[in-house]
Chain A
């Protein structure tokens, strides 16, 4: 090592201090931490709204909140969980892990990285401020269908601009991730040696760049329809409200994969570690992920089978949607085959990963049911769809995020988390989440509509059970916060490799890793590449 390089290392390992370290950060780890903390806070804000929803639905009749506020809760819960919790958590992990996994010193564009993050608190301040406005917070559903959404009062422009604001953040974040992976890989780290988490994030970033501007366009048209006299979504002037749904879901369906693909990547890192076997079918995993992303642009109208489309449209979108089951099936098969005859241990990350595979599959199967156009006429806008997307997002995306935190937290903090408490968190979560969401399949099939604060007596028992599951699930997450805080404050010293079966560049760094990951790029050999 030359003196110049040694000096430089010294310079960079000197961490900035005080509040400026966070406000003006150009460091991928600090920015990743801020993303994760922000996501956790939003998880509880959105979760509190879910608790209000489940409390109101505990019994039939109107108990605690008025119907308008109830609808605000469902709308805001969705917006906050999607844009404030799951997406930022995924970006936070990408920030922390991608430079370490590909052998880079930092993200490619570190200042832009910080702007992507700092937009979020301001954007959600805007969104949450609508709760206190005349006419209340957005209450027409997170999908913002006109003409309902344009009837909002003062909250309307705040809703639209929040979407624009978040879009700017996500597009900048996605550009940064692609530039980092394309340009910052260590020598020898070819594309087909990238850890699967990195692969899923390249593809997710592409989906973000291609779909979020379309959402920005759609909400811009809502804005001009309300304030500037355009008639994009007004049939009296020759427009069509259904057109909004088409444009929205052209964004909305890729968005679904934006939420879940990073989760696929996480699970693909964790299962090989604890099965102590290389990932089964690495290449097919990459191709399957890319196929899912590609197909996601051609299936959007399965969200609107009941809106009145021509038969050819219904059929096309039915078959296109079903074809997504093929690459998804490949992935599930590969995860199971990775575990097959592995020497498995069941630490908390592995438990969450296995629960992910099983419970995500349930959500996948109900998705397949709804892809069948004629039967979707029964499921549409009932609690069945609520059960479906909560299965893919909660024991799907959120469980994968928990798994990721438990898996990499020892690397980040240098301490092992409390395994006993972690397992307790897992069992409480996995039982309560099923009590929470499984009954919703039944009441949905029986005809209970979504986004309604009151319901018929016949749905009372299952709703009560579902609410009880919800309260337990909500409370269990406080335990997660405690486990994380405890781990940051101390605990058994973690080794560099942390897990016996872990492979990849991030495990070659110290625990905790240096402030800038790889100031000199490592040589990547097959031995340290993905297992």
Chain B
């Protein structure tokens, strides 16, 4: 609870939070401009993202300096741990919204559209020809949607990707064990293996998207199946990319010898995040691809 090892570190005034707020503002305005079809949108969005990267680099380099100069006592470390844990919970809830949408569509609203439950009149009045199925390749009103016949089978690339991602969870644990034994070389190699596995996963996922778009005609606008498939796998793929990038930063820091067996919260925080994307993938593999 309290610090018996010196005072809690309160940082001096910092410009990064304001830089971050402005960067997000510029990025959002730019993105809105892009969606509204105004000419300036892409440019403004680019500036916002660049400013955001600048903020992350600056803020984190301040934090790393403070950590290396020994400003952070045990209590500060615990604050970071709570911060990261609750951030991951918020991410879990973000994915929960999309899993909820998948559940609602598959189990409730699609059957109702075909007349199940008390959906008889809905079916009769709207699309009486419609029958429920999953994957829903015959939409209630097919006009305007990309038609598809096949979907990605679970026992192909997705299974391989499952093995890759679960293995990367193992390698990151080996890296942690090496770190706890102060074996920096082992840490770097196992981390490098994790980063490589992460990016291989993203590469396969991208290949799967190309396949779906070009050969299966399964797209974002392929009705509720395409919507849930791409939003879930897309946001997950984005998180894997972020996680692998974070791991890469940790690898560079490990190579510089930033971590010790006692003091390595940054490594653990990113490892937690990595396990989180792993668990989300398992949910995806089961509910999106398999069942």
Task: Please report A residues at the B interface, Cβ cutoff 8 Å.
Answer: 5, 8, 12, 16, 20-21, 23-26, 104-106, 108-112, 114-115, 118-119, 122-123, 125-126, 154, 156-158, 161-162, 164-165, 168, 171, 174-176, 178-180, 182-187, 189, 209-214, 216-218, 220-221, 223-224, 227-232, 235-240, 242-243, 246-247, 250, 310, 516, 519-521
Contacts and interface: CB of A to CB of B under 8 A. Distances in A.
A104 B75 CA distance: 12
A237 B104 contact: no
Contacts of B150: none
A26 B11 contact: yes
Given A168-B24, A209-B90, A229-B146, 19 more contacts: A8-B7, A23-B18, A112-B17, A122-B25, A156-B35, A161-B29, A165-B25, A209-B93, A213-B91, A214-B97, A217-B95, A224-B231, A232-B105, A237-B139, A240-B104, A240-B105, A243-B109, A246-B100, A521-B2
B10 A26 contact: yes
B1 A185 contact: yes
Interface in B103-139: 104-105, 108-110, 112-113, 117-118, 126, 136, 139
8 contacts: A24-B14, A105-B8, A111-B14, A161-B29, A179-B83, A183-B79, A240-B108, A247-B97
Given A179-B79, A519-B7, A218 B104 contact: no
Contacts of A105: 7-8, 10
A389 to B, nearest CB: 24
Given A126-B28, A157-B35, A214-B94, A231 B86 contact: no
B156 interface: no
A229 B221 contact: yes
B8 A213 contact: no
A232 B15 CA distance: 40
A217 B225 contact: no
Interface size class of B (residues with CB under 8 A): 35 or more
B94 A217 contact: yes
B101 interface: yes
A186 B14 contact: no
Nearest to A133: B36
Of B93, B113, B228, chain A has the most CB atoms within 10 Å of the CB of B93
Nearest to A102: B1
A118 B139 contact: no
Interface string B1-34: 1110001101111111110111011001101100
Contacts of A20: 13
A125 B29 CA distance: 10
A228 B220 contact: yes
Contacts of A119: 21, 24
Contacts of A126: 25, 28-29, 32
A114 B14 CA distance: 9
Given A106-B10, A183-B78, A237-B227, A114 B100 contact: no
A230 B94 contact: no
B291 interface: no
B21 A310 contact: no
Contacts of A242: 109
B223 interface: yes
Nearest to B63: A111
B140 A238 contact: yes
